[in-house]
Amino acid sequence: MSDVLEQLRQRLETQLEFIYRDIATVSDYPGIAEALISAMGLNEKAYEMSEPVAYQNHWSQQDVVLITYGDSLEKRRSRSSQQACLSGEQEYGFSDMDGDVGLAEKPLKTLKRFLDERCKEVINSVHILPFYPYSSDDGFAVINYSAVNESLGGWPDINAIAEDYRLMADLVINHCSSRSIWFDNFIKGEGPGHDFFFTADPEADTSKVVRPRTSPLLKEVETANGTQHVWCTFSHDQVDFDFTNPKVLIEFVWIIRLYLDNGVRLFRMDAVAFLWKILGTSCLNLEETHEVVRLLRSLIEHAQPDAVIITETNIPNRENLAYFGNANEAHCVYNFSLPPLLVNTLVTGSCHYLKQWMMSMPPAQHGTAYFNFIASHDGIGLRPAEGLLEDQELNTLISTMQSFGGRVSMRALDDGQNKPYEINISLFDALQGTTKGPDRWALDRFICAHAIMLALEGIPGVYIHSLLGTRNDYDKLKHTNHNRSINRHRWDVEALEESLDDPLNDHHKVFHRIKALLKIRTRQQAFHPNATQFTLHLGDQLFGFWRQSMDRRQSIFCIYNISDEPQPLALSEVNLIGLDRWHELISGEEITDLAQEMMLAPYQALWITNMLDS
């Protein structure tokens, strides 16, 4: 037996003893550890393994993640082709080869081609949101973790994307679909998965439980073993797993192994903060949850040293940061406070709160990084702004977003009241104006937001609908009656490409301006996710920070006018070193007079550096 494998086994046993210390029925820690090692396939490669290198960065300034659904882009048949397929099926009995007469090919193939033809020079990673068979929540109620949704494609399509891009996939670890075979077996009281789900007495005190929804927590289910009340953190179609049963943990390690074998290298642990439940507590961020993440990290990094765990925890900032652990838990955490703070900054014209937050954020240790995003398939979370924005500021933000066509989703409090949980709106519409109303600066404001996000310490994640400048989808919202649908548009790829090729079209302008920023970003060592960052103090209308490369050779001063009025910038206040030659990266202009006062147009961004194309 290799020394590395034996050390891992001992570590797993220690972690398991901590996780299950209060579970009387669990005591076979060596047996569970061996089952986990077997599920990850580590026995077969025991003598190839080496101890993972601590504090190692698995990323660089070249890493940019595109976030997309597998079917955000669709190649649709012409109306005549659709009619021909329908006629053929009716007359001759054959079915459409793609399973949908409206599509000319599987969406994962469409996505791959779009990435290759339009994005490859600036995007090296792609997060495909849940691509498994599902029953609701656009993929997050998983029916089968081991399959690819046939309407999207198959494992070969996933493999093809993973060959050319670093692939990020969701590990939907807190819950699964009520239509899964596991839940069917729970109802039958026998078979695989029959004991995978968390139940509770409806008379138990659950008043402290923190949830992101307003639906009842428990779902009454008739089973072969009588009436059961199943825990449902999110919806009654999303039933929570019971991780006090070690078989659930072992099953998820099998799933992780399958994903690794199919090219997944970035694991987004969906809703992981809710994983462990103890009655009488908040059932959020419990220490057992953190230990499970550490245990999965131990297994993953031994199996695939360059794999990365990213925790998705839409919670207040301090609790979110705890998932870094001591650089031994998540490699990356979603920077959930950034979207509400940045949108608030740009619609109010003041960076006061954003700057306060920036100064309070600890630099990520080597081996960890922030995952920065300003738009996603979900909404603009409001819990991460708790303690960072005052109530009046939040109320103004919400009312402004509603005036721009946004919706507000609620969560239940322990006193029976409901409270705003997230704002649902496309980012382009969210930034169409200020608290004063829509204005003519929408495009520049939108690009400014991305120029800020792309320069910040961390790895940037760009939502496909931000890259394309997609607007609110009211038709989909009306069809689903689900607030999040407003920002989950499905593009006809041919119509999209016509827009992207038209220089007068806003989609073209957004796409090419963001790509131009990405091309610059990926060449700058000072934009490494772990490069030094300091906040500049330039007043409330100019937001700025300084980045310095880890070898200290390159500096970039990132300065933004976040208001709808021109703002003066005295370069003497920025403290540019006179011995260096300074250039502004976005315009490409050289700065020769370090004593000059520049006038920044509304929402203008400056990236001032002492080195070009480092």
Task: Please list the active-site residues.
Answer: 270
Residue 217: both structure tokens together: 């927590």
Q: Give the CA distances from residue 24 to residues 17, 20, 28, 244, 426, in Å, rounded to whole numbers and listed in that order.
A: 11, 8, 11, 10, 49
Q: Tokens 């020394």 sit at which residue?
A: 3
Cα–Cα distance for residue pair 492/490, rounded to 1 Å: 7
Residue 190: both structure tokens together: 């026998």
| Selection from 383, 339, 343, 335 nearest residue 363 by Cα | 335
Sign of the dihedral through C-alpha 222, 226, 227, 229: negative
First to last CA, the chain: 46
Q: How many other CB atoms are found less than 10 A from the CB of residue 520?
A: 21
Cα–Cα distance for residue pair 318/273, rounded to 1 Å: 13
- The HSE-up count of residue 381 (CA atoms within 13 Å, CB side) is 24
Q: What is the CA radius of gyration of the chain?
A: 25
Cα–Cα distance for residue pair 292/295, rounded to 1 Å: 5
Residue 500: both structure tokens together: 């992207």
Bridge partners of 422, per DSSP, are 381, 409
Cα–Cα distance for residue pair 188/272, rounded to 1 Å: 28
Q: Give the CA distances from residue 249 to residues 171, 242, 512, in Å, rounded to whole numbers and listed in that order.
A: 12, 9, 44
What is the SS3 assignment for 52-78?
CCCCCCCCCCCCCEEEECCCCEECECC
DSSP string, 296-331: HHHHHHHH-TT-EEEEE--S-HHHHHGGGTTTTS-S
- The HSE-up count of residue 434 (CA atoms within 13 Å, CB side) is 17
Torsions phi, psi for 225 (to 5 deg):
-100, 20
Length of the chain: 614
Cα–Cα distance for residue pair 607/614, rounded to 1 Å: 14
Cα–Cα distance for residue pair 423/111, rounded to 1 Å: 28
User: Which amino acid belongs to residue 593?
Assistant: D
Q: How many other CB atoms are found less than 10 A from the CB of residue 150?
A: 12
At 592 the three-state DSSP class reads coil
Instruction: Pinpoint the alpha helices (H) of 481-560.
Output: 493-500, 506-521
Cα–Cα distance for residue pair 86/9, rounded to 1 Å: 58
Strands (E), 225-263: 226-231, 238-240
